């Protein structure tokens, strides 16, 4: 490590490995990736889609964040997994491939980020993946008439449809269609909405997870002599040249190995922080970039004062309601029986068949709705007019425009094949929520809020890089979020009374929580008991003009520094539609091109 690298990447996760792969396509460019976790790219827990839950809470795989108590959620702490391994959270997510909408990305540009509209990101949304044609079994089960077979791509991440879709998935699609919410087009066109069967980041060749660790760090990339990857190595801070009269220039990073041995590694070019929305702010703050009051209290010298570091944190809050299924209806809860689980694992290991190699979650992207269905334009405007005082800045008004002026999907509904219990006050890990502890077999309807108004924060509480920062998602702090989510919970009650989904649910069967979402008061209680995040923390180092709360500019350079960028979900100005791995890959792909351009300038 005595040599100097052209680029040092802090974090070998989804964005970090994407960036490393693209930058080292030029053999004259040397790149170092420093990853705190280990290399688990050969682990069955990572590669087997159906074993995702087995990673949660394991120290070698998962950072396993618990929030500070959420005052509006009965003071529950909520848990979110974060990948502590090569590939980051792409190694332990649910592999859902959901694409952002045109309007949500156009809002990024409207907030002051030239080149970051939908058209500016669309080439990179196509670049990261190869989308395989749906198998005949999938078409027979759920139609997939919306799927555009011409949009295939040739990127390293493999995207495929399952052969395991069944009556539950079809009932879901048919129920939404009865409310005018059949899918309007291919989700990759940026304008479609409605119910559809999403694909997953699973390689159809061997039914294994396709993620940054295998897609962007495969054998060919590993063999590149200009790429060095350090695992189980913790970054303590970015090191700067602070010559008087100029902005601090990043010159390297201070790291320690797993034995605790510290050393400084130098760069002749840039340090690029790719540690994710909860830990990229941590790295900046440990390096002296952030709120003066916080840094002074921890005796960290202030290099760049920026009150926005670690602020503007957003997530996709999600409400989970489980319903006991009717006799004869399939539920994933059967895996509580060890014999069933072992049988399914045996099937997968011998033939790659069965649910352990599949993702069978169905989704629906729905514009602003209530118990009656999608709300009219007049109804939307009246709602926001009555809540004007809750919209405090330009960002709120930009999000408001998404609601009022378009068919923007405001909620993503998901049909999860098992029971879920998110009421726990002190979850040990995400696995605590997913373990089927109740005796009945259930399915769960999840209500995910695509564009929340509430904003949280994440900040260090110690100068020790080994101590996790304090994460406060601040769910439902803006009362408008409660109003919007409550209306969509009411629509869930409409859905479960709509055939054929109605026939999937046992008459008089148990629901969890045991509250019916038929009044706004009941919906509020469901939110308080069950809401958590959908593992999509973002926006904590926002890409915006500095005077409007920005941490990085439109070329992802950290304000007030030279030679320092951030590339990961923390730079999102606002949350996009849906599960964010697609957008993270696209951001990293675009960032690689920006960095290459700047190198030539």
pLDDT tens-place string over residues 368-413: 999 999 999 999 999 999 999 999 999 999 999 999 877 999 999 9
DSSP code of 355?
A: G
pLDDT tens-place string over residues 455-509: 999 999 999 999 999 999 999 999 999 999 999 999 999 999 999 999 999 999 9
DSSP track, 470-539: EEE--TT-SHHHHHHHHHHHHHHHHHTTSTTHHHHB-TT--EESS---SSHHHHHHHHHHH-EE-S--B-
CB within 8 A of 425, min separation 6: which ones? Answer: 74, 75, 76, 77
Residue 494 phi, psi dihedral angles, 5° rounding = -65, -40
φ/ψ region of 194 (left if φ > 0, alpha if ψ in -120 to 50, else beta) reads left
Look at residue 245 in the predicted model and tell me its pLDDT: 74
Look at residue 406 in the predicted model and tell me its pLDDT: 79
- The Cα–Cα gap between 495 and 179 comes to 9
Active site residues: 536
DSSP code of 29?
A: -
Cis, bond preceding 240 (omega within 30 deg of 0): no
330 is in an annotated binding site: no
3-state secondary structure of 333: helix
pLDDT tens-place string over residues 299-322: 999 999 999 999 999 999 999 999
């Amino acid at each position: 490590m005595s040599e100097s690298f052209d680029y040092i990447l802090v974090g070998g996760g989804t964005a970090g490995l994407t960036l490393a792969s693209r930058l080292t396509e030029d053999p004259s460019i040397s790149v170092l990736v420093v990853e705190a976790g280990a290399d688990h790219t050969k682990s069955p827990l990572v590669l087997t889609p159906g074993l995702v839950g087995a990673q949660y809470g394991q120290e070698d795989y998962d950072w396993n964040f618990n929030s500070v108590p959420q005052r509006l959620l009965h003071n529950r702490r909520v848990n979110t997994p974060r990948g502590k391994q090569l590939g980051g959270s792409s190694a332990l997510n649910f592999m859902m491939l959901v694409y952002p909408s045109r309007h949500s990305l156009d809002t990024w540009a409207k907030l002051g980020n030239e080149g970051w509209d939908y058209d500016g990101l669309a080439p990179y949304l196509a670049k990261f993946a190869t989308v395989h044609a749906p198998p005949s079994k999938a078409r027979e089960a759920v139609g997939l008439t919306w799927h555009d077979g011409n949009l295939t791509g040739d990127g390293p991440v493999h995207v495929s449809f399952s052969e395991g879709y069944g009556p539950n998935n079809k009932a879901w699609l048919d129920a939404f269609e009865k409310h005018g919410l059949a899918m309007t087009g291919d989700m990759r066109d940026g304008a479609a909405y409605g119910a559809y069967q999403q694909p997953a980041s699973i390689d159809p060749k061997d039914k294994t997870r396709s993620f940054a660790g295998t897609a962007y760090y495969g054998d060919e990339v590993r063999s590149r002599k200009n790429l060095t990857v350090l695992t189980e190595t913790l970054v303590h801070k970015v090191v700067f040249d602070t010559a008087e009269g100029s902005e601090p220039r990043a010159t390297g990073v201070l790291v320690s190995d797993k034995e605790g041995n510290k050393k400084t590694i130098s760069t002749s070019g840039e340090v690029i922080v790719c540690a994710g929305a909860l830990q990229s702010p941590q790295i900046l703050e440990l390096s002296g970039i952030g709120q003066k009051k916080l840094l002074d209290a921890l005796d960290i010298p202030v290099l760049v004062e920026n009150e926005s570091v670690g602020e503007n944190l957003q997530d996709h809050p999600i409400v989970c309601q489980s319903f006991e299924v009717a006799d004869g209806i399939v539920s994933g809860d059967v895996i509580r029986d060890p014999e069933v689980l072992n049988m399914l694992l045996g099937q997968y290991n011998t033939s790659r068949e069965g649910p352990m190699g599949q993702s069978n979650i169905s989704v629906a992207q729905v514009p602003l709705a209530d118990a009656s269905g999608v709300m009219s334009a007049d109804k939307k405007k009246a709602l926001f007019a009555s809540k004007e005082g809750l919209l405090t800045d330009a960002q709120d008004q930009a999000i408001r425009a998404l609601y009022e002026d378009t068919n923007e999907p405001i909620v993503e509904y998901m049909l999860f094949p098992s029971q879920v219990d998110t009421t726990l006050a002190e979850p040990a890990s995400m696995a605590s929520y997913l373990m089927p502890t109740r005796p009945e077999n259930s399915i769960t309807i999840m209500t995910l809020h695509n564009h929340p108004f509430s904003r949280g924060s994440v900040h260090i509480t110690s100068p020790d890089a080994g101590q996790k920062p304090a994460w406060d998602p601040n769910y439902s702090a803006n009362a408008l979020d409660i109003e919007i989510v409550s209306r969509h919970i009411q629509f869930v009650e409409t859905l479960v009374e709509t055939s054929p989904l109605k026939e999937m649910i046992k008459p008089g069967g148990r629901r969890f929580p045991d509250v019916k979402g038929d009044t706004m008061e009941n919906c509020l209680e469901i939110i308080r008991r069950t809401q958590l995040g959908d593992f999509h923390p973002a926006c904590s180092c926002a890409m915006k003009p500095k005077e409007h709360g920005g941490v990085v500019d439109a070329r992802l350079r950290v304000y007030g520094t030279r030679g320092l960028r951030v590339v990961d979900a923390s730079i999102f100005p606002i949350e996009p539609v849906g599960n964010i791995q697609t957008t993270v890959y696209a951001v990293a792909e675009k960032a690689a091109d920006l960095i290459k351009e700047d190198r030539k300038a």
